[in-house]
Amino acid sequence: MMTVIAAGLGLTAAFSPLLTLMRLWQIKEWRWDRLIEHLKREGVLMQLFGGTRSLILFFWGSVTFVTFLIGDAGMMASPLGFALLVLLALTTIMQIGLRKQQTPKWTLKAIVLTSCSLILTVIFTALLFSLQWHGGPLLGSLVPAASPLIAACAWFVMRPLDYVLKKRVMDRAKRARADHPNLIVIGITGSVGKTTTKELLAHILRPLGAIATPEHVNTEMGVAVWLANILRREPRDSKRIIIVEMGAYRKGEIALLCAIAQPTIGIITYIGHQHISLFGSRDAIRESKGELFEALPSTGHAFANKDNDACDALVKLCRCPVTTVGTDGSATISATDVEETGKGIRFQSMETIFNIPIAGTHIVAGALLAIAVAKHLGRTPSQIAEALKNFRPLPGTFEIREERGITILNDTYNASPDGVRAAIDWAALQPQEEKILLIEGIIELGQFEEEIHLDLAIRASKVFSRVFVADPHFLPYFQKGGFDERAQLVPGHPSPVSAGSLLVCLGRLRQSQINRFRGSVDPH
Residue 521: phi and psi, rounded to 5, are -70, 130
What pLDDT shows up at residue 515?
A: 85
Rounded to an integer, what distance in angstroms lies between the CA atom of residue 218 and that of residue 223?
Answer: 6
Q: What is the pLDDT of residues 154-163, one digit of tens each?
A: 988 888 988 8
**How much is the pLDDT for 1?**
62
Top-level class of domain 179-388: alpha beta
286 has a pLDDT exceeding 70:
yes
Write the CB contacts of 185 (distance below 8 Å, at least 6 apart in sequence).
177, 242, 244, 261, 262, 263, 264, 265
Residue 245: pLDDT over 90? yes
For residues 279 and 250, is the Cβ–Cβ distance under 8 A?
yes
Listed range (250-259, 365-374, 405-414) with the worst mean pLDDT: 405-414
Task: Determine the average pLDDT of the residues in 391-418.
Answer: 88
In this prediction, residue 76 carries a pLDDT of 46
Least confident of 69-83, 126-140, 177-191, 263-277: 69-83
In this prediction, residue 80 carries a pLDDT of 67
CATH class belonging to 399-522: alpha beta
The full set of domain ranges for the chain reads 2-161, 179-388, 399-522
Q: 35-39, long-range: CB within 8 Å, 24+ apart, which pairs?
A: 37/277, 37/278, 37/443, 37/444, 37/446, 38/443, 39/148
Residue type at 354? F
The pLDDT tens digits for 348-366 are 999 999 999 998 888 999 9
Task: Of 22-36, 127-141, 407-421, give the lowest mean pLDDT range.
Answer: 127-141
Query: What is the reported pTM?
Result: 0.84
Q: Which of 180-184, 272-276, 408-412 has the lowest mean pLDDT?
A: 272-276
